[in-house]
Chain A
């Protein structure tokens, strides 16, 4: 078939040429594929970010330097708790009751047999932890059980939980808010994950803590996205900046940072349009947003990836690709008030090392709590 031949030829040429010396860089302007090369070159002079970063096509080093700078800056971490902090468990009550019983038999067992081991593994799979991760966890626990001669169901379950706790332990889950700068918290994720709502909740929380947040409507694409965020700004008492529909998201965020500095707001909550991680041009757009947000006086201190707890194994790919594009600093796990368990964040955290920082437990302004690994693990088995 002709088409196969064509694809092959093009692919071979492209891969071959790439292999011959195109340094892998992943940080040039947005939407390249929609524009002609002439335009790309023309844009070099006018891009908001081109003056400092995009001097040439091989710009990885410059960017890395910038990234390093971010790391070097001394973070002043706030640990103030929010005023009302509903407990994870309390809040999960409804969901838990619907699911009690998977492991009922196991706990009462005096000897965990093969079938029970399988059920244990299946409980993990049912929670979206993933087959590979579940198998390796169970493998570890089996070894440990043998070593410690743990036999009954209770002991085995305790070993499994312990094993999982270890994986989630010792992570810095605080949200970074530096003094003397305009902090930018960039909120990213796939479509419908809960980004805008999370910003609304964060706004409420920051206002309660005495900070002064500004919400920037960086989603210029989806219908009425800015109106949605505007409503949240009103609800939470945050400042609000929006651009024109269909406008350039980077400029909205840029304007947001400027406005925040001018109005004395210390943190910009930057909303972005939902995007599926396999769309390279949209991921490029996002990288650019991040770069622009990091320009003086702005400083990106958090990049929060919003993951829907209902998401299955694709969550892993989301975390990987978004991290490559914008250096995710933390995950917000939303919709955990439903029957889904959000087990994919286990793999995200243990394999990619990205800490889950916040959990969404409802659609209201106060339905955002800090992530508690212990309670999260316990809830997986309820």
Chain B
């Protein structure tokens, strides 16, 4: 799915071999690839050029690090440079000493202003504030109705009237004062950066409400034009920050970099879905990885934290390694993982996986069929799949709308996997021992209850070790899919080591 930059670099550097320092020629060749990768991620051409210069300056003459290979080292520099560009100063919402605090949204048509206004209102509510939403888009059909519907969902009042956008916005401030609302969020109509009349209008709305914060709402799928748009809006409105939307898609989101470079103000929020709760503070490091198309471990870990109790995952892993894993457990894990998103994406995020494996497309519908097969088995069959004979097989197949070959396929694959896991567990790596020990001390623990790990509580060391494959193993990683039978003990040995490396 993703074309990892590292994969490309490995090629270049395998020709170069290990050297004392990165020479200009080495770096130049890599920079070409970086240019392509960034442009493919929709980073604006001009921004790419300036980034390239910065990366060149940093990389040339750099001593080759002992722990990293040159490819990883350059990737690390690029990654750091991108993270720095995307990050820097973070948004720090200060409330106006004389309420209300006014927030204005602006942006192109369809970028997500109205949805983000409601999301922001929800966010302010969660901060203990009393927001008022203002429908100042009197242009698009049913725009105000859309905002009202969203307002009802989060129990936030919406102010609007069929006059003109400037007076609606102005009267909203009065309205907020008289009804004790301390934050006002003004949703405006979408407009093109080159539409003078409408750009002028948004300026007048801004003059009327004197916003404390003006956010540009930018679609993560935006291409090269992001820079023009950001420039135009920034020039008119002096933006305070950016809200990046539709990050739940698979766009690499290079527009984030473009906009950040132009506006120089923080990307404050990231919108990751159509629902109002799909909204969070922006994480520059993750975005950098995403733009580069690298396995995004941080996202993976955070998603896992949302879905899993840490103990549960440990328990399941320990069971796997002891060969005690049943089809029931498999089903349960599969369902858990599905909550974290499509399996294909999860595999794509795994570090250390060779490209071929990362690129495998797993259709979630196939997952549903596997699920159907397991659910059509009796509890006894799930615990001991070996008991499934021909007649049971055809019963299961017809119950799940599959055919007997598929049923036996799953069972034999499962049997092989179980054996392999047991062998892996038997290798007694430090990790494995630890899991076993913990497991022994603890009885089965139910779900529910508070999250064990608050966000950010469990920090993970950043650096290329986490996000890039271990140098030597690339290409002959043991994690070959799906030929389980071909994995030998040596592969397992390596796999055990790899897993140990990922310990958080």
Q: Hey, which chain A residues are within 8 Å of B146, CB to CB?
A: 222-225, 227-228
- Closest 8 pairs (CB-CB, A-B): A312-B223, A192-B110, A20-B409, A312-B42, A2-B317, A231-B141, A223-B149, A340-B225
Q: Which residues of A contact B (CB under 8 A)?
A: 1-22, 24-26, 28, 32-33, 36-38, 40-41, 44, 56-57, 94-95, 98, 122, 125-128, 130-132, 190-194, 200, 221-225, 227-228, 230-232, 274, 276-281, 284, 308, 310-315, 317, 335, 337-341, 343-344, 363
Using an 8 Å CB-CB cutoff, how does the interface string of B462-501 with A read, 1 for contact, 0 for none? Answer: 0000000000000000010110100000000000000100
Query: Any chain A CB within 8 A of the CB of B364?
Result: yes
Assuming the A-B contacts A125-B45, A128-B224, A308-B110, are A276 and B248 also in contact, with contact meaning beta carbons closer than 8 angstroms in the complex?
yes
User: Measured between alpha carbons, how far is A16 from B485 in the docked complex, in Å?
Assistant: 11
**B406 contacts A310, CB within 8 Å?**
no
Residue of A nearest to B312 (CB): A2
Contact status of A6 and B313, CB under 8 A, knowing A15-B360, A24-B363: yes
Q: Could you jot down 19 A-B contacts, CB within 8 Å?
A: A1-B502, A2-B318, A4-B499, A6-B337, A9-B320, A13-B413, A15-B482, A16-B481, A16-B482, A18-B370, A40-B401, A125-B45, A224-B148, A308-B219, A314-B249, A317-B250, A337-B192, A340-B228, A363-B140
Interface mask (B333-360 → A, CB under 8 Å = 1, otherwise 0): 1101110001101110010000000001
**Option from B39, B333, B372 in Cβ contact (under 8 Å) with A40:** B372
Contacts of A127 in B (CB 8 A): 224
Q: A37-B372, A122-B45 are in contact. Are A2 and B39 (CB under 8 A)?
A: no
CA distance A2 to B41 in the complex (A): 31
Let me know if A20 and B350 touch, CB within 8 A: no
Rounded to whole Å, the gap between the CB of B270 and the closest CB of chain A is: 15
With contacts A126-B45, A191-B110, A363-B140 taken as known, whether A32 is within 8 angstroms of B317 at the C-beta atoms is no
Contacts of B45 in A (CB 8 A): 122, 125-126
Interface residue? B263 (CB, 8 A) = no
Whether B255 sits at the interface, judged by CB under 8 Å, is yes
- B residues near A, CB below 8 A? 36, 39-42, 45, 108-112, 139-143, 145-150, 153, 192-195, 219, 221-225, 228-229, 246, 248-252, 254-255, 274, 300-301, 304, 308, 313-314, 316-318, 320-321, 325, 330, 333-334, 336-338, 342-343, 345-347, 350, 360, 362-372, 375-376, 399-403, 405-406, 409-410, 413-414, 417, 421, 435, 479, 481-482, 484, 499, 502-504
By a CB distance below 8 angstroms, the chain B residues around A230 are: 142
Query: Contacts A126-B45, A338-B193: A227 and B333 contacting too (C-beta < 8 A)?
Result: no
Q: Is the CB of A3 within 8 A of B300?
A: yes
Extra contacts, 7 of them, besides A13-B330, A224-B149, A363-B109 (Cβ < 8 A), are A10-B330, A22-B369, A57-B369, A224-B142, A278-B250, A308-B219, A310-B225
Give the complex CA separation of A225 and B146 in angstroms.
Answer: 7
Q: Are B343 and A14 in contact (CB under 8 A)?
A: yes
Residues in B neighbouring A363, C-beta threshold 8 A? 109, 139-140
- What residues of A have a CB within 8 angstroms of the CB of B410 in the complex? 13, 17, 20
**Which B-chain residue is minimally distant from A321 (CB atoms)?**
B250
Question: Using Cβ atoms and an 8 Å threshold, which residues of chain B touch A223?
Answer: 145-147, 149-150, 153
Q: Which residues of A contact B482 (CB under 8 A)?
A: 12, 15-16, 19
A94: which of B194, B365, B366, B400 is its contact (CB, 8 Å)? B194
> Shortest CB–CB separation between residue B81 and chain A, in angstroms?
20
Alpha-carbon separation in the docked complex, A338 to B323 (Å): 60
Does A131 contact B142, Cβ atoms closer than 8 Å?
Answer: no
The prevalent SS among residues of B at the interface is helix
CA distance A335 to B229 in the complex (A): 13
A41 to B370, CA, bound (A): 14
User: Judging by beta carbons under 8 Å apart, are A276 and B246 in contact?
Assistant: yes
Contact, CB under 8 Å: B417 / A131 = no
Determine whether the beta carbon of B413 is less than 8 Å from that of A6: no
Partner of A37, one of B110, B248, B249, B400: B400
Instruction: Let me know if A192 and B112 touch, CB within 8 A.
Output: yes
B223 and A131 contacting across the interface, CB-CB below 8 Å:
no
Bound complex: CA A240 to CA B252 (Å): 38
Q: Is A12 in contact with B360, judged by CB distance below 8 angstroms?
A: no
Q: Nearest chain-B residue to A41 (Cβ)? A: B401
Q: Give Cα distance in the complex from A33 to B372, angstroms.
A: 11
A126 to B39 CA separation, bound complex (whole angstroms): 9
Q: Give Cα A278–Cα B372 distance, bound, in whole angstroms.
A: 23
Q: Which residues of B contact A57 (CB under 8 A)?
A: 369, 401-402
**Which of chain A's residues has its CB closest to B141's CB?**
A231
Task: Check if B219 sits within 8 Å of A192, measured CB to CB.
Answer: yes
Q: Once the chains are docked, how many angstroms separate the CA of A36 from the CA of B371?
A: 9
When distances are taken between beta carbons in the complex, the residues of chain B under 8 Å from A20 are 405-406, 409-410, 413
Q: Which of A4, A9, A125 has the most CB of B within 10 A?
A: A4
Known: A56-B401, A221-B274, A228-B140. A312 touches B364 (CB 8 A): no
B347 contacts which of A11, A36, A94, A341 (Cβ < 8 Å)? Answer: A11
Q: Which of B111, B375, B410 has the most CB of A within 10 A?
A: B410
Q: Find B334's partner among A14, A15, A128, A193 (CB 8 Å cutoff).
A: A14
Per the bound structure, the CA–CA distance linking A276 and B255 in Å amounts to 17
Query: Are B368 and A277 in contact (CB-based, < 8 A)?
Result: no
CA distance A24 to B482 in the complex (A): 17
Which chain B residue shows the least CB distance to A128? B223
Distance between Cα atoms of A363 and B140 in the complex (Å): 8
Q: Residue among A127, A132, A339, A341 with the most chain B CB within 10 A?
A: A339
With contacts A11-B343, A33-B367 known, is A276 near B250, CB below 8 A?
yes
Cα–Cα distance between A232 and B204 once the two chains are bound (Å)? 28
Q: How far is the CB of A348 from chain B (nearest CB, A)?
A: 13
- Chain A residue numbers with a CB within 8 Å of B484 are 12, 16
> Could you tell me the distance in whole angstroms from the C-beta of B484 to the nearest C-beta in chain A?
6
**Measured between alpha carbons, how far is A335 from B107 in the docked complex, in Å?**
13
Residue contact A37 to B376, C-beta cutoff 8 Å: yes
- Give CA–CA (A3, B222) in the complex, Å: 33
Contact A4 B250 (CB under 8 A): no
If the complex has contacts A11-B343, A284-B365, are A17 and B406 also in contact, measured as CB distance less than 8 A?
yes
A13: chain B residues at CB < 8 Å are 330, 370, 410, 413-414, 417
Instruction: Note all chain B residues with C-beta closer than 8 A to A16.
Output: 409, 413, 417, 481-482, 484
Q: Is the pair A11, B481 in contact by a Cβ cutoff of 8 Å?
A: yes
Residues in A neighbouring B375, C-beta threshold 8 A: 36-38
A190–B221 touching, CB < 8 Å? yes
Cross-chain contact A21 with B405 (CB below 8 angstroms): yes
Is the CB–CB distance between A22 and B406 below 8 Å?
A: yes
Across the two chains, which residue of chain A brings its CB closest to B221? Answer: A314
CB pair B145 A227 closer than 8 Å: yes
Return B143 CB to nearest CB of chain A, in Å: 8
Chain A residues near B330: list those with CB within 8 A. 9-10, 13
Inter-chain CA distance A277–B249, complex, in Å, is 7
Distance, CA A194 to CA B190, complexed state (A): 12
| Chain B residue contacts of A33, Cβ below 8 A | 338, 364, 367-368
- Residue pair B376, A5 in contact (C-beta under 8 Å): no
- CB neighbours (8 Å) of A19 from chain B are 482
B150 to chain A, nearest CB (A): 5
CA distance A194 to B45 in the complex (A): 27
Contact indicator B110/A312 (Cβ below 8 Å): no
Query: In the assembled complex, how far is the CB of residue B315 from the closest CB belonging to chain A, in whole angstroms?
Result: 8
Given A10, A18, A339, which contacts B366 in the complex, CB threshold below 8 Å? A18
Question: Which residue in B109, B143, B499 is a CB contact (below 8 Å) of A194?
Answer: B109
Q: Which residues of A are found within 8 Å of B301, using beta-carbon distances?
A: 3
- B219: A residues at CB distance < 8 A: 192, 308, 310-311
B487's nearest neighbour on chain A, judged by CB, is: A12
Residues of A within 8 A of B255 (CB): 312
Give the residues in chain A near B225, CB-CB below 8 Å: 128, 310, 338-341
CB distance from A121 to the nearest CB of B (A): 10
